[in-house]
Structure 1
């Protein structure tokens, strides 16, 4: 018997206008309510707000909708300072008061810890914060082109790969917040069309611009870049995908860790540490929070002059060098030999001879390495978003009583914390570090003791 297709007569909810009460924020800062026994996600809403919304997407387990009207406002709603906020994906929480966005981040951690069977009665310490605006010293700016070949320079739109054309970004530090208009005008004038993939901007002592060049520069365009660099006192580098080379005269890039970063007064004459880096190296984007983070880490480690400290995922020496000012010895471990070489150079420039750096893949088997058989009294680790589970499995065997864990991903932190707790460690202190104000991203520090 033949079967014939019969179109569903069930009315699809997409496009319907509905009323929703927002219950909570999800981990991305998006408001969540309930409609027909399913979760409904509505951006730019806050808990306890009643909204009129239009359903944009209907799935088997949830809906997505867009706001038409905010019927009543949360007491914690504030007016976003940036007029690009509703479209630009750079910030998530500009509509939420500063104290509440810290509370949101804390609750996000509590939820993830609970999922990993960790007691959520945690010993919270005061959060490390900075100004909520004009704090970011490094950013990658996207470059796209419209149908006419004209450049669009900015950050990605919310939930999209397309860019928002920006005139300024109030999260960037003052010397670089207006760079978008300058770049747009310059790129539009280049003879090579669609020749740039993105531009990275760094501000330390100077404004440095790293141009991802998709097509080799000709002399005409080199001159345009040099002229604009001279006009605005930029250092310009060209990244061709294989190497980064300076186009203009440049001075070494470095940032400073100050005397207030827990450095002993007996080293007062050499109290400022310069951390030298290359244009593509990782550095923390928030200078103030980075300095305060170092102070806290050194305080929580309770460093003594006879301590021997292990610093895992040490990078350029951001923690290693200040620690070395206060203890007998430091060993820093990093996955890339190039970073090991730079950390070693930074130690030499600071005239520190009680610190050594070694290369190792810390999430592979490193137990037979000579440095792993030394005695350590304390350890600090600051892994990438992937976390440190493989490293911690081996670190537990070293039986070090004090561990300070600095994390940039709460999900991997929760998993790693559960491993340490199941092996006899307890959480003595925990604090949020608001490295990325106005966004959903969380940096956390935990002191574990055994």
Structure 2
């Protein structure tokens, strides 16, 4: 005899409660308290009363979404982007820019204070235009078989699906204006189903495009791309997955920094926010108090974003970077700008540096700009150099706080702290700190 079982349908009820938002965390979430537990609420701002739905309930905290705001904050803004709330690019367009900056500065102060003997305060906020600031963007490309069309855009929040962009107010206007005509051009290609992604970059000599394609392009497709590039005065590069790009024109992109002309490959890292980057470099030079007889070491130097401007002010500047292509570009730019007192070395700074040819030189000032992992591998060597001043530029306050402890334990003083609003409306928190030793 056969027996049939009917599985009971599992029913889950999302808890709905009313809370008062007390703070804003660096990720754009409101912070509330309920029954002694911290609740992080997306879509809510300090001072607001909100009816929320709990989406994740842990022992020490919970996460929730705001369903109804009963008392809107005067610092609540209407998001400019029609994709806000779906696109994963921005998290804080609903908050006034001043509130975003204040919440990030408070978070930075809290994180640094945990490792310091005295409370650390943020001395200044370095910012630029909150809109139209992003000069570089990578857009995903997906062929949608059911709709029989190409999707182009950023990833949705917590998803691999794309948000089809028609506008993006954080992009520089020159790149935003390309979104719809570029989508139309790519949709007309024979290879439309075999495209990977597209990168847009604004150089000082015009916009450039990098198209990742999965199969070889036909002569007809190349002709369409060449016509599009000519029409929009666009430097176009094709990426087939190999290490080298194929340029459809012979133009070399560049940008200016401190009267220097810096050329770059489309594959090279350059700072996305040019306005804040210029201020950041100027602030680093001022904090280091550069003198003509100084010898400066710049670690994690990239293509010389700091090293080359510093070289204009000092006797000798040395940059060290792990990516060989960036070192080659930095060397080329030093020659291009006739900076003979600047040199570069390639080395993985997570490995031992004691036997490197640059390591024993007598540097009296140091600058470092590591990736999110921080600079744990080279901190002990910096301390051995005993520089008078150190400027640490960080894109991760957690590793900055950790590495700061090494300096403080070695007798350095934390002199200055700046929050860099490099990515307005997002959860990214960047900063720079000055350590000095008398």
Deviation of 1:439 after TM superposition, in Å, equals: 1.2
Task: Look up the match of 1:128.
Answer: 126
**Residues 359-378 of structure 1: matches in 2 within 5 Å?**
359-378=346-365
Unmatched tracts of structure 2, length 5 or more = 1-6
Deviation of 1:362 after TM superposition, in Å, equals: 1.4
**Partners of 2:29 and 2:159 in 1: how far apart?**
15
Deviations 1:32-59 (A, max 9, x none): 3344554433311112211123344455
Number of aligned residue pairs: give it. Answer: 430
Question: 2:431 matched to 1:444?
Answer: yes
**Match 2:142 to one of 136, 141, 144:** 144
**Partners of 1:406 and 1:194 in 2: how far apart?**
42
Task: Look up the match of 2:242.
Answer: 242
Stretch moving more, 53-62 or 18-27? 53-62
Matched-pair contact (CA < 8 Å) for 1:313–1:335: yes
Sort the Cα spacing of 1:170 and 1:9 in 2 relative to 1 into closer, same or farther, 3 A: closer
Task: Look up the match of 1:104.
Answer: 103
Task: Look up the match of 1:384.
Answer: 371
Matched-pair contact (CA < 8 Å) for 1:238–1:244: no
Stretch moving more, 398-407 or 237-246? 237-246
Task: Look up the match of 2:175.
Answer: 176
**Partners of 1:110 and 1:421 in 2: how far apart?**
16
TM score, norm. by length of structure 1? 0.90
Matched-pair contact (CA < 8 Å) for 1:88–1:157: yes
Unmatched tracts of structure 1, length 5 or more = 1-6, 259-271
Deviations 1:90-113 (A, max 9, x none): 112111111111111111212322
**Residues 197-208 of structure 1: matches in 2 within 5 Å?**
197-204=196-203, 205-208=205-208
Secondary structure of residue in 2 paired with 1:72? coil
**Partners of 2:112 and 2:212 in 1: how far apart?**
40
Deviation of 1:293 after TM superposition, in Å, equals: 0.9
Sort the Cα spacing of 1:375 and 1:48 in 2 relative to 1 into closer, same or farther, 3 A: same
Task: Look up the match of 2:75.
Answer: 76
**Partners of 1:173 and 1:27 in 2: how far apart?**
24
Deviation of 1:24 after TM superposition, in Å, equals: 2.6
Deviation of 1:63 after TM superposition, in Å, equals: 4.1
Task: Look up the match of 1:228.
Answer: 228
Deviations 1:116-169 (A, max 9, x none): x32463253321110100111111111223233411111122222211111111
Matched-pair contact (CA < 8 Å) for 1:123–1:428: no
Task: Look up the match of 1:210.
Answer: 210
Deviations 1:11-33 (A, max 9, x none): 8432x443222233334222233
Q: CA RMSD in A?
A: 2.2
**Residues 51-66 of structure 1: matches in 2 within 5 Å?**
51-58=50-57, 62-66=61-65
Task: Look up the match of 1:354.
Answer: 341
Deviation of 1:304 after TM superposition, in Å, equals: 0.7
Deviation of 1:348 after TM superposition, in Å, equals: 0.6
Sort the Cα spacing of 1:366 and 1:333 in 2 relative to 1 into closer, same or farther, 3 A: same
Sort the Cα spacing of 1:247 and 1:274 in 2 relative to 1 into closer, same or farther, 3 A: closer
Matched-pair contact (CA < 8 Å) for 1:324–1:330: yes
**Partners of 2:349 and 2:17 in 1: how far apart?**
52
